[in-house]
Amino acid sequence: MAAVKDYAVAATTASRGRGALEEQRPVIAVLIPCYNEELTVGEVVAEFRAQLPEADIYVFDNNSTDRTVERAREAGAKVYFERRQGKGYVVQSMFRQVDADIYIMVDGDGTYPPAEVHALVEPVLRDEADMVVGSRLHDESSSQFKSLNRAGNKLFLSVLNSVFKVKITDMLSGYRVFSRRFVKGVPLFGGGFETETELTIKALERGYRVVEVPVDLTTRPEGSFSKIRIVHDGLRIMNTILALFRDYKPLTFFGAIGLFLVALGLVPGLVVVVEFFETGLVLRLPSAVLAVGLTLAGMLSVTIGLVLHTIVRRSQEFDHQLRTMLDELRTQLRKDRGEGGQ
């Protein structure tokens, strides 16, 4: 299980981040997923251009019906298109099409502070993190949340932290920085707003280093509207948590179901057994059948969990070996380039 670090942000940290950026000069890509954000996208592009003049800025449009594309191009962004509707599909397209060393993902609604980008980039530059999350719910953050949105975030966080035994403060933030290793190594399948949940869980369960940096979320400007459908997207997020819980912790998932079924089977089963010892007869045949069926189903569920747990462990070992080989290959390539340049 990857540990989640907690970075407190200060002005000195941001200045160190700027120094590191100037020194190392990695290829940085700012990725902005957009759907009908003509009021804010131009300003977002301009502000990130001012903070990171050496970065490539990409706007990925998701079937906007307003002037989002025109505003992005006017601000100097490179515009790409994703026709499959949904933020998750946009993120998949961004990760697949853009080639960089460091990836900065930020929503185009103008609610995230561009000035904090240096603090978010720094842990990746220092090779201390594979994913940095701009936490809107950190104790040091002063984010402007709607009460319903804050309650929903807290609910999903409590479920995630209890199910996966982690301690994070924000799993739905749209302000993140990734290493190339993470972007090219994590498979994403969710098509909607559950993509942040998928990113968070897969980063933790696949052993990537995750860091949280407090940021202050601001409100949308007048005339700009959120695209989140609270009930629909909330159900998709909860379904993603449970589905990934099943995939990454099958023994716990199926074992809990199995033990619950066995416990249910004991209720009618004990009644049948007591009556049998008292009368020598099975007077409640339906109860006996129900008890046996529930117990067998529970034992089968536990067995499935054990089998899948073994498969998952072997897959994790294979994934670890593959990543180790790739890291060694990259290191060797850097050495070869260095020798070739001498």
Q: Are residues 53 and 42 in the same domain?
A: yes
Structure tokens at 15: 């200045």
Q: Are residues 217 and 305 in the same domain?
A: no
Q: What is the mean pLDDT of each run of 10 residues along the chain (342 residues)?
A: 47 44 75 95 96 96 95 96 95 95 95 95 95 93 82 90 91 95 92 92 92 92 78 89 93 95 93 85 87 95 94 83 78 71 54
What residue type is assigned to position 22 of the chain? Answer: E
Q: Could you tell me if residue 274 is inside a domain? A: yes
Q: Are residues 168 and 303 in the same domain?
A: no
How many domains, the chain? 2
Give the C-alpha separation, 62 to 200, whole Å: 23
CB atoms inside a 10 Å sphere around CB 108: 30
Q: Are residues 125 and 17 in the same domain?
A: yes
Structure tokens at 281: 């007869």
Query: 35-71 pLDDT, tens per residue?
Result: 999 999 999 999 999 999 999 999 999 999 999 999 9
What pLDDT score was predicted for residue 36?
94
Residue with tokens 């993470």: 182
Q: Are residues 319 and 240 in the same domain?
A: no
pLDDT averaged over every residue in the chain: 87
What residue type is assigned to position 71 of the chain? Answer: R
Query: 111-153 pLDDT, tens per residue?
Result: 999 999 999 999 999 999 999 999 999 989 888 877 788 888 8
Q: Could you tell me if residue 133 is inside a domain? A: yes
Q: Are residues 263 and 176 in the same domain?
A: no
Q: Does residue 254 sit in helix, strand or coil?
A: helix
Q: Could you tell me if residue 104 is inside a domain? A: yes
Q: Could you tell me if residue 342 is inside a domain? A: no
Q: Are residues 55 and 198 in the same domain?
A: yes
Instruction: Write down which residue in 225, 247, 269 finishes a domain.
Output: 247
Instruction: Write down which residue in 189, 215, 247 finishes a domain.
Output: 247
Task: Give the structural domain span for 189.
Answer: 4-247
Q: Could you tell me if residue 288 is inside a domain? A: yes
What pLDDT score was predicted for residue 2?
45
What CATH number should be reported for the domain holding residue 159? 3.90.550.10
Q: Does residue 317 sit in helix, strand or coil?
A: helix
Q: Are residues 118 and 209 in the same domain?
A: yes
Q: Are residues 131 and 272 in the same domain?
A: no
CB atoms inside a 10 Å sphere around CB 335: 10
Q: Could you tell me if residue 109 is inside a domain? A: yes
Q: Are residues 211 and 264 in the same domain?
A: no
Q: Are residues 281 and 132 in the same domain?
A: no
Give the C-alpha separation, 321 to 58, whole Å: 33
Q: Are residues 63 and 105 in the same domain?
A: yes
Give the C-alpha separation, 141 to 226, whole Å: 21
**Edge-to-edge strand list for the sheet holding 28-34:** 4-6, 210-214, 131-135, 176-179, 102-105, 28-34, 56-61, 78-81
Residue with tokens 């052993």: 207
Q: Could you tell me if residue 30 is inside a domain? A: yes
Give the C-alpha separation, 34 to 57, whole Å: 13
Q: Could you tell me if residue 314 is inside a domain? A: yes
Instruction: Write down which residue in 202, 231, 247 finishes a domain.
Output: 247
What pLDDT score was predicted for residue 122?
96
What pLDDT score was predicted for residue 322?
80
pTM recorded for the entire structure: 0.79
Answer for the pair 78, 59: CB distance below 8 angstroms, yes or no. Answer: yes
81 bridge partner residues: 61
